[in-house]
């Protein structure tokens, strides 16, 4: 297993810059998710890493060795695509063994290896089934086993779960993550689904418009978004505009304590606040208290979203069941407390650009 490094790698398609110059490190044995909305350049970046797309500039290194110009088939990277790209006329075992035989492995050895791989992805009992007779999740496992058959140095997956329904997708995320950890293989997964990235990744690379917006562990990205785009794209957030006044935020007539700020007084900012951060109806938490009226209650099982009309505008507060002893009803007056540390403050122009 080897780590991978990108240095100032970028890609232009004619006059379109698909990926801005990017430096990234994919540490040995870790799973990295390339996460961002449609068109942000994540697939192009993955394809450059795979050798399927020539970069317009920059360097790719594997275990310290430059591989930028090495053709895809000589990189020994395993790939799983959105479509799985299996051979429909071959059965499960043949799909895996065929790729091994093509790679020059003698048939008997390929059969043995194929059987081991099918056990690894829990498809041993399905060896002679045709691809058309498998569920989406089973097909995905065949695609994974086939990619692993090459003993890849790096494992690349492009939206591997997108063909699966929601429940199966969640199961497969856990399964794939456990398999990746067991094999200790350096893995890069392209996804636009932040829950998928948070579930599986050691490191998330958040991208937008061809740029890397933030790189970090899932929790760090969620707790400390570096800009308004990341705060909006990862998890949910309430946003409001404010003007800095010393260590406080002015929103209309209200002044909100904001902790440490890296802005001068008078600066126009936008503020992001996770819905689980404010407290409702308590005097025991430190923070700025605002009066509010309940406008809507969305009860979704384990959590309730309380929609509020507050002094500073509309806000959604997420309460876990049993967290507050009482029910909230539309029209009710309440107090919402905003802890200073929960306020993520960004330059206002970032919000306009996002």
Minimum distance from residue 36 beta carbon to ligand ATP (Å): 6
Taking the least distance from each CB to ligand ATP, the nearer of 213 and 304 is: 213
Minimum distance from residue 116 beta carbon to ligand ATP (Å): 33
SS3 content of the chain, % helix, strand, coil (to 5): 30, 35, 35
Contact 315, 274 (CB under 8 A): no
Minimum distance from residue 235 beta carbon to ligand ATP (Å): 19
Closest CA to 312 of 238, 230, 246, 231: 238
Helical residues (DSSP H) of the chain, grouped into ranges = 42-50, 92-102, 107-120, 136-148, 166-183, 194-200, 218-223, 228-233, 348-353
Residue 222 token pair: 């969620």
Taking the least distance from each CB to ligand ATP, the nearer of 10 and 155 is: 10
Minimum distance from residue 140 beta carbon to ligand ATP (Å): 18
Minimum distance from residue 248 beta carbon to ligand ATP (Å): 39
Taking the least distance from each CB to ligand ATP, the nearer of 5 and 20 is: 20
Taking the least distance from each CB to ligand ATP, the nearer of 39 and 339 is: 39
Taking the least distance from each CB to ligand ATP, the nearer of 131 and 159 is: 159
Taking the least distance from each CB to ligand ATP, the nearer of 345 and 354 is: 354
Buried/exposed code over 83-111 (b: 16+ C-beta within 10 A; e: otherwise): ebebeeeebbbbbbbbbbbeeebeeeebb
Contact 155, 148 (CB under 8 A): yes
Residues in the chain: 354
Q: Helices (H), strands (E): how many in the chain? A: 9, 20
Minimum distance from residue 51 beta carbon to ligand ATP (Å): 15
Minimum distance from residue 287 beta carbon to ligand ATP (Å): 38
Taking the least distance from each CB to ligand ATP, the nearer of 40 and 354 is: 40
Taking the least distance from each CB to ligand ATP, the nearer of 205 and 258 is: 205
Q: In terms of C-beta density within 10 A (0-12 exposed, 13-18 middle, 19 or more buried), how is residue 283 classed?
A: exposed
For ligand ATP, which residue has the nearest CB? 43
Minimum distance from residue 33 beta carbon to ligand ATP (Å): 13
Question: Helices 92-102 & 107-120, crossing angle to 10 degrees?
Answer: 130
DSSP state of 322: T
Taking the C-alpha atoms of 310, 220, 20 and 239 in order, what is their torsion angle to the nearest 10 degrees?
Answer: 0
Residue 146 token pair: 């086939």
Q: Which residues bind ligand ATP (CB under 6 A)?
A: 13, 16, 18, 36, 38-44, 192
Beta bridge partners of 7: 59
């Amino acid at each position: 297993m080897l780590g991978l490094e990108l240095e100032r790698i970028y890609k232009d398609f004619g006059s379109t810059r698909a990926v801005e110059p990017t430096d990234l490190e994919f540490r040995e044995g870790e799973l990295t998710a390339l996460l961002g909305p449609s068109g942000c350049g994540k697939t192009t970046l993955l394809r450059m890493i795979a050798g399927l797309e020539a970069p317009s500039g920059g360097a790719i290194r594997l275990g310290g060795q430059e591989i930028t110009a090495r053709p895809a088939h000589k990189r020994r990277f395993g790939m799983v695509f959105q479509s799985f790209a299996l051979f429909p006329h071959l059965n499960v075992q043949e799909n895996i063994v065929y790729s091994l035989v093509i790679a020059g492995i003698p048939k008997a050895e390929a059969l043995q290896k194929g059987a081991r791989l099918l056990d690894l992805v829990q498809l041993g009992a399905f060896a002679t089934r045709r691809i058309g007779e498998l569920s989406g999740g089973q097909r995905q496992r065949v695609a994974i086993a086939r990619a692993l058959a090459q003993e890849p140095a790096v494992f690349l997956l492009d939206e591997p779960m997108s063909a699966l329904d929601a429940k199966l997708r969640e199961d497969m995320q856990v399964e794939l993550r456990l398999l990746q950890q067991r094999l200790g293989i350096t893995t890069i997964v392209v996804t636009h689904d932040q829950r998928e990235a948070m579930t599986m990744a050691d490191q998330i690379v958040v991208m937008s418009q061809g740029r890397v917006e933030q790189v970090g562990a899932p929790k760090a990205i969620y707790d400390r978004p570096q800009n308004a785009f990341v705060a909006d794209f990862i998890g949910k957030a309430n946003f409001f505009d404010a003007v800095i006044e010393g260590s406080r935020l002015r929103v209309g007539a209200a002044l909100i304590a904001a902790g440490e700020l890296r802005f001068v007084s008078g600066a126009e900012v936008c503020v992001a606040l996770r819905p689980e951060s404010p407290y409702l109806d308590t005097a025991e938490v430190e923070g700025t208290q605002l009066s509010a009226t309940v406008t809507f209650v969305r009860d979704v099982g384990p959590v309730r979203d309380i929609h509020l009309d507050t002094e500073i505008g509309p806000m959604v507060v997420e309460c876990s069941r049993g967290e507050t002893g009482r029910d909230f009803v539309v029209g009710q007056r309440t107090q919402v407390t905003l802890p200073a540390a929960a306020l993520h403050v960004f330059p206002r122009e970032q919000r306009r650009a996002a």
